[in-house]
A and B are shown apart, each in its own frame.
Chain A
Amino acid sequence: MKIWKDFIKGLWEENPTFRLLIGMCPVLAVTNAAINGVAMGLATLFVLVCSSTIISLIKNLIPSKVRIPCYIVVIATFVTIADLVLAAYFPDIHAVLGLFVPLIVVNCLILGRAEAFASKNTVTRSFFDALGMGLGFTWALTFLSIIREVLGMGSIFGFRVLGEWFTPFLIFVLPPGAFITLGIIVGLMNTFTRKTA
């Protein structure tokens, strides 16, 4: 039951993107098309799950004074793996995500889970916590990028869903659109949560 709670909390209650507002840089930068959002979410999910599990395994070996550099080295190693795999099998997506793949290293979500959860809990619990948080992050990115792609280009995953009558609001795929869309979603989330609570 506890494990289920660890898993489920990242999806809604403590959703990293819409509730905790951590790891925001990739959220805003890569969500201009749905496919980029999904790819970024999955890459982050992979790094988060692997590094949380490893850190939880070796937590008793790491001296507490140098723990942050140790975490960062573990995370950077998995990011390098993810980066090379993406470059080898999905070169197009890798080219679009560009700088933001290496920047997963400094995504505060990953270091935050390592410090706040994986360094204190068992391997199984850390794994499910990371899985939940990673999936929460992935759906948030997917959701945001679908909204932006529909409004900005009239398409989802590159397929046109809105007819010829629709003039795309180009602003939504440009930087200002990212800030404004996310701001409105966070506002809506607050409204819903307040009503159900």
Chain B
Amino acid sequence: MEALLLFIGSVLVNNFVLARFLGICPFLGVSKKVETAFSMGIATTFVMTLSGVASWLIQNYILVPFGAERFLQYVAFILVIASLVQLVEMVIQKTSPALYQALGIFLPLITTNCAILGLALLIAIKQYSFIESIAFSFGAGAGFTLAITMMAGIREELQFADVPKPLQGAAITLIIAGLMSMAFMGFSGLIPM
């Protein structure tokens, strides 16, 4: 039950992109077409769930027992994420070339998505249990996918709209994100936090 609440909370209430400001770069950069945005979302969700689990294991079985969580945490987490992304890329390439074609170019980009490192650190700060970590990671990924796909849908429609010239491109995207974020604030009463 706790885990389910955590999942819904991280998708809607504390949406990673719109409420926590994590993963803004791909949110602005890869949201021109619904299809690519959705693929990016799925790839990110996949890596997020894996790295959430991996960083939980590292935090609780390596860093804390050796008392190194204060000064080695950032270096350890980012290295794990970078190598995990590489590993996932190689596994997908071997097992499913079709999926690799679809996700291929997005995978390396995910390493520098701050949502992934942010997620690993949040799990460590909030001291979630193993099950809670999985629910939280998956929810965060799902929330990211939701936000980026919605944004891509709006931007596709926007091509036919008459946007003032200086606002074209990034500026109007940011303003739309602001309106979306305002709409998502409506969910804030959904779950007692």
A94 to B125, CA, bound (A): 14
Which 9 residue pairs of A and B lie closest in terms of their CB atoms, listed nearest first? A179-B178, A183-B174, A180-B178, A183-B175, A29-B21, A187-B171, A190-B166, A176-B182, A186-B171
Report whether over half of chain A's contact residues are helix, strand or loop; otherwise say mixed. Answer: helix
For this complex, 23 residue pairs linking A to B, each with C-beta atoms less than 8 Å apart, are A24-B24, A25-B21, A25-B24, A29-B20, A72-B82, A80-B71, A80-B75, A99-B118, A102-B74, A102-B117, A103-B118, A105-B117, A106-B111, A108-B25, A175-B21, A175-B185, A180-B175, A180-B179, A183-B171, A183-B173, A183-B174, A184-B171, A190-B171
B binding-site residues for A, Cβ under 8 Å: 18-25, 28, 71, 73-75, 78-79, 82, 111-114, 116-118, 121-122, 125, 164-167, 170-175, 177-179, 181-182, 185
Taking a contact as CB atoms under 8 Å apart, the answer to whether A175 and B28 are in contact is no
Instruction: Please give 8 more A-B residue pairs, beta carbons under 8 A apart, in addition to A111-B112, A176-B178, A178-B178.
Output: A28-B21, A99-B118, A175-B181, A180-B179, A183-B174, A187-B171, A188-B166, A190-B167
Taking a contact as CB atoms under 8 Å apart, the answer to whether A179 and B75 are in contact is no
The interface residues of chain B lying within 8 Å CB-to-CB of A24 are 24-25, 28
A24 to B113, CA, bound (A): 11
A77 interface residue per 8 A CB criterion: yes
Quick one: which of A73, A103, A175 contacts B117, CB cutoff 8 A? Answer: A103
- Closest B residue to A73 by beta carbon equals B75
Known: A72-B78, A190-B166, A194-B166. A179 touches B181 (CB 8 A): yes
CB under 8 Å from chain B, chain A span 159-197 = 171, 174-180, 182-184, 186-188, 190-191, 194
The interface residues of chain B lying within 8 Å CB-to-CB of A191 are 166
The interface residues of chain A lying within 8 Å CB-to-CB of B28 are 21, 24
A96 interface residue per 8 A CB criterion: no
Taking a contact as CB atoms under 8 Å apart, the answer to whether A103 and B78 are in contact is no
A binding-site residues for B, Cβ under 8 Å: 21-22, 24-26, 28-29, 68-69, 72-73, 76-77, 79-80, 83-84, 99, 102-103, 105-108, 111, 171, 174-180, 182-184, 186-188, 190-191, 194
A79 to B125, CA, bound (A): 17
A186 to B74, CA, bound (A): 32
Number of interchain pairs (Cβ within 8 Å): 115
A106 to B21, CA, bound (A): 13
The interface residues of chain B lying within 8 Å CB-to-CB of A194 are 165-166
The interface residues of chain B lying within 8 Å CB-to-CB of A21 are 28, 170
The interface residues of chain A lying within 8 Å CB-to-CB of B82 are 68-69, 72
A76 to B73, CA, bound (A): 10
